[in-house]
Chain A
Amino acid sequence: MGLKRDVSLSTGLRYRGPAGYLTFILHRIGGLGMGIFITLHILASFVGGRFGGAINGIYENWAFQIFIFFCVMFHAINGLRITILDLFPKLLDYQTEAIWIEWAVFIPLYGISVFVILQTALGG
């Protein structure tokens, strides 16, 4: 425990760094979203019965699918950028460019996914 940052919760939440802040906070929201969802999902499936069934029913709703797919897709694609840049540290000099490529991959992939989910849910 050598590192000591001494940052309060409110300061932490108000932090606005330079480039990459948006991907940082979206990665965090996506990770938290998945963490909460998977924890509740495992608990509900383990408990089972009417209570578990009611909780698990929420996840089949298309609105929830669009939300959780944002969390998963953004976390996965941003995580791939972080992984590649961290495992090949020389590439870190091109972080800004990498973030642009990341958006160019994420927006079409997520857009098509939302379109297909909506088409299935609303088109019958």
Chain B
Amino acid sequence: MTKKSRTLSIKGRGLTNFESIMWLFTRLSALAMYALILFGLIGALVMGARNNMNFADVMRWAFMPNVTHVQSTDLESTDAWVTPFWKLIASALLLVATAHGVHGLVVIADDYIASEGGRKFVRLLSIIMMASMSFMGLWIIWTS
């Protein structure tokens, strides 16, 4: 007897409610973050990171392309690193990562908090956290 696959296709699972749409969002936002981080990494190498930065500094830039992350390096000028283009990339990464992360915290909390009221409270807290982190992050990116 051949082993029959026990899995369902994406469509077969029925993405009907908010939680299952967020399940898909978590996967797709992960893919988006790989692209953005790889983009920041390649951008740093193109802009001359090979000669003026150590490994940790390059990774710090890749994970959040904000100019404050490269100010302590041996770069002669940070002009190319502080353009609106990089601020837009940083903002995109911030918003995607915040949504992915805050939803992840809700998923973890749901594993340990089973009461209806508790879960509602976690969701309220997550919306507040999401809004405040996005706001503060954008503020830092566009004023630094």
User: In the complex the two chains form, is B7's CB within 8 Å of A93's CB?
Assistant: yes
The answer to the question of A104 belonging to the interface, with a C-beta cut-off of 8 Å to chain B, is no
Minimum CB–CB distance for B78 against chain A, Å: 17
Instruction: Classify chain A: how many residues form its interface, as a range.
Output: 35 or more
User: In the complex the two chains form, is B108's CB within 8 Å of A28's CB?
Assistant: yes
User: In the complex the two chains form, is A69's CB within 8 Å of B59's CB?
Assistant: yes
- Note all chain B residues with C-beta closer than 8 A to A39: 129, 133
The answer to the question of B112 belonging to the interface, with a C-beta cut-off of 8 Å to chain A, is yes
Interface string of A44-80 (1 = CB under 8 A from B): 0110000000000000101001000100100010011
CA distance A69 to B54 in the complex (A): 15
- Note all chain A residues with C-beta closer than 8 A to B55: 113, 116-117, 120
Q: Is the interface of B mostly helix, strand, loop or mixed?
A: helix
Given contacts A45-B68, A82-B27, contact A93 B114 (CB under 8 A): no
Known: A6-B114, A80-B30. 5 other contacts (CB 8 A): A7-B112, A42-B137, A45-B68, A113-B55, A117-B56
Residue of B nearest to A6 (CB): B114
User: In the complex the two chains form, is A35's CB within 8 Å of B116's CB?
Assistant: no
- Note all chain B residues with C-beta closer than 8 A to A5: 111, 114
Residue of A nearest to B55 (CB): A116
The answer to the question of B1 belonging to the interface, with a C-beta cut-off of 8 Å to chain A, is no
CA distance A28 to B63 in the complex (A): 19
Minimum CB–CB distance for B28 against chain A, Å: 8
Task: List residues of A whose CB falls within 8 A of some B CB.
Answer: 1, 4-9, 12-13, 28, 31-32, 34-35, 38-39, 42-43, 45-46, 60, 62, 65, 69, 72, 76, 79-80, 82-83, 86-87, 89-90, 92-93, 113, 116-117, 120
Task: List residues of B whose CB falls within 8 A of some A CB.
Answer: 3, 5-10, 27, 30-31, 34, 54-56, 59, 63, 68, 72, 97, 101, 104-105, 108, 111-112, 114, 116, 119, 129, 133, 136-137, 139-140
Given contacts A79-B30, A83-B30, contact A46 B108 (CB under 8 A): no
CA distance A9 to B105 in the complex (A): 15
User: In the complex the two chains form, is A38's CB within 8 Å of B119's CB?
Assistant: no
- Note all chain B residues with C-beta closer than 8 A to A120: 54-56
- Note all chain B residues with C-beta closer than 8 A to A76: 34
CA distance A100 to B47 in the complex (A): 36
User: In the complex the two chains form, is A42's CB within 8 Å of B136's CB?
Assistant: yes
Residue of A nearest to B72 (CB): A60
CA distance A81 to B40 in the complex (A): 22
User: In the complex the two chains form, is A72's CB within 8 Å of B5's CB?
Assistant: no
